Structure 1
Amino acid sequence: MKLKSNNYYIRKSHRYLGIILGVQFLFWTLGGLYFSWNDIDEVHGDHLRKEKRNFSASMNMVSPQVVLDNLKAKAQVDSVLSIQLIEVAGVPVYQLRYFSGAMDHAAHAAGSHMPAQASNVKVQLANAASGKLIPALTKEEALVVAKSQVADPVKVEKVEYLSEVGAHHEYREKPLPAWAVTFSQPDNCTVYVSAELGTFQAIRHNQWRLFDFFWMLHTMDYESRDNFGNILLRAFSIFGLFTVLSGFVLYFVSSPGIRKVKKKVHQVR
């Protein structure tokens, strides 16, 4: 029985590795092309948004202390995380984020990056002119906020209230609950507004959705999109290295020039 040469096994390994990895290499290439040919600001939807307006310096506001006192009268406030002046439906509003109840060390270390829905972080809105506490955004208020963000809102297709989203949702890892306002134009965009924070959170449109799809294929994280340390990506990276190395070895052992050199060395010996 004739034994098969090393060349045969190298070719076989290179061929199967190429088949296994070829499709993923194609996805990586297509994704890279799409990323490089698109303006990231347009992907984020900046071109669809109105220019941000500033507050007038002549407006009347009560002290944030008034809001804090009003809040203490109705709820337990252990410490204040932040107080921010925002606009809700054209009205200046204080957004007060505070800790109520036991505050763990992780929450304290996270600081202002803590999501609004964390169990021990509360949010309270208050009219900045009167200090009166106001509830979370209604559907009508969220619609006004969403329209104020889009440069040319043509027609509202639907408005949804989101209390939870899946790992694949385009509004993943954002504050909940939230209102999702979808416009038919421009670019079939959806504006997400946090009900408790009272603020715009994200705008998603067709260009972003395609970018997100290619990003998923690029990272090979089919659950949350952004985990570069997932096992699948690591495995394919190693297999890719083996494929490249086997290609170099295959060239070395099958090159006519290399074979001639080896033959001459053999003859000299």
Structure 2
Amino acid sequence: MMRIKFLVRKTHKWLGLILSVQLLLWIVSGLYMTAVPLTNVHGNHLLKADDEVLLNQYSWQPISQAELEQYAPVSSVRLTSRLNQALYVLTTEQGLIYLDGETLEKVRPLTRNDIAMIAKKKFAYDAPVQSAVLLKQYPQELGGRNQPVWQVNFNAAFNASLYFHPVTGALISKRSDIWRAFDFLWMLHIMDYDERSDVNNNLLFLSALTALIFVTAGLWLLFYSFHRRNKKQVA
């Protein structure tokens, strides 16, 4: 029995040393995730309340089948708006095509000034636009998709960034240092240092299993200690 106690105690000690850093990271990241409201992590507080957009307030005309044939095959047609004008979005085999709702001509991508104006109208804080950059693809914090996107940065509200579609001006997403800290701690919490999304990775499973052995060894030592003490008292 003394041999078993020695092995369990040694195992418990070394596992404690190995796990101590990761256990601390689990605790710190867990505290952050429970202390910070998810609505702030998602950045909902960065935006003003959206005004309802009524398309009938804009001038637009129906698009005929003959006009659609030049872009055929067209799988879907959607009517939306941008910069106070109606906008048709056509889904084709060549990709999305954007037409002015009134003239039915292809529209130009939005300029930096257009995007900055849209961002200022949506941002909930009274702060100037620090920068507006047209990225060739989504940044890592948006998943790295291979599509262009406007990134508008503000030196306010924990370095907020708003992301917009380059043609429609639609808000794609919003990020701030609150989200970035959450994302970093989530990576440490689930131990997925690449995609930061796989909670079934082998490293996390091995660490959790090691932690289980560590706790089990500690409980066994506690039980053994009490059992030995009771035997001495009886004797």
TM-score range, shorter chain: 0.7 to 0.9
Q: Secondary structure at the match of 2:164?
A: strand
Cα distance in 2 for partners of 1:17, 1:196 equals: 55
2-side partners of 1:146 and 1:126: how far apart?
A: 23
Contact preservation (8 Å) 1:14, 1:247? yes
Q: Normalising to structure 1: TM-score of the pair?
A: 0.75
Distance 1:220 1:246 in 2: 24
1:108 alignment counterpart: none
Taking the aligned partners of 2:233 and 2:163, their CA distance within structure 1 comes to 73
Q: Supply the AA of the counterpart residue of 1:202.
A: S
Once the two structures are superposed, what CA deviation does each residue of 1:160-187 show, in whole Å capped at 9, x if it has no partner?
A: 2222356xx2122557210111111233
2:152 corresponds to which residue? Answer: 181
Paired residue for 2:19? 21
Q: 1:227 to 1:196 in 2, by over 3 A?
A: farther
Displacement of 1:52 in angstroms is 1.0
| Alpha carbons 1:88, 1:145 under 8 Å: kept | no
Are residues 47 and 175 of structure 1, via their aligned partners in 2, closer, same or farther at CA, if it must alter by over 3 Å?
farther
> Pick from 101, 122, 132: which aligns with 1:149?
122
2:78 to 83, 99, 122: 83
Cα shift at 1:12: 1.1
Rate the CA distance shift 1:9–1:88 in 2: closer, same or farther, 3 A. Answer: same
Task: Note the aligned Cα RMSD (angstroms).
Answer: 2.8
> If the length of structure 2 is used for normalisation, what is the TM-score?
0.85
Determine the C-alpha separation between the residues in 2 that align with 1:218 and 1:90: 45
> For residues 137-163 of structure 1, what are the alpha-carbon distances to aligned partners after superposition, in whole Å with 9 as ceiling and x for unaligned?
333332233223212352222222222
Q: Aligned match of 2:102 in 129, 140, 160?
A: 129
User: Is the 1:153–1:183 Cα contact (8 Å) retained in structure 2?
Assistant: no
Pair 1:21–1:58, CA change in 2 (3 A): same
Aligned to 1:62: 61
Tell me how far apart the structure 2 counterparts of residues 225 and 202 of structure 1 sit (CA, whole Å). 18
Find the counterpart in structure 1 of residue 7 from structure 2: 9
Deviation at 1:202, TM superposition (A): 1.0
For structure 2, the residue ranges without an aligned partner over 5 or more in a row are none
Task: Tell me if structure 2 keeps the 8 A contact 1:161–1:180.
Answer: yes
Q: Take 1:226 and 1:31, find their aligned partners in 2: how far apart are those partners?
A: 15
Instruction: Give the structure 2 partner of residue 95 of structure 1.
Output: 89
User: Equivalent residue for 1:250?
Assistant: 221
What secondary structure sits across from 1:164 in the alignment? coil
Tell me by how many angstroms 1:197 deviates.
5.3
The aligned runs of 1:104-119 (5 Å cut-off) are none
Change beyond 3 A, Cα 1:263–1:188 = closer
Distance 2:176 2:149 in 1: 17
Q: Which residue of structure 2 aligns with residue 202 of structure 1?
A: 173
Deviation at 1:263, TM superposition (A): 7.8
Partner amino acid, structure 2, of 1:130? T
197-206 vs 230-239, which moves further: 197-206
Partner of 1:140: 113
Q: Is 1:235 the equivalent of 2:206?
A: yes
Determine if contact 2:137/2:146 at 8 Å carries over to the other structure: no
Distance 2:15 2:92 in 1: 54
Question: For 1:64-105, what per-residue CA distance to the aligned partner results, in whole angstroms no more than 9, with x for missing partners?
Answer: x44x754541x442523x6252x3233332333x2417xxxx
The aligned residue for residue 32 of structure 2 is 34
Contact 2:120 2:129 in 1 (8 A): no
3-state SS in 1 of match to 2:198:
coil
CA distance, structure 2, for counterparts of residue 242 and residue 135 of structure 1: 62
Q: Which amino acid aligns with 2:84?
A: G
After superposition, the Cα gap between the structure-2 partners of 1:195 and 1:70, relative to the gap in structure 1 and judged at 3 Å, is farther
Match of 1:51 in 2: 49
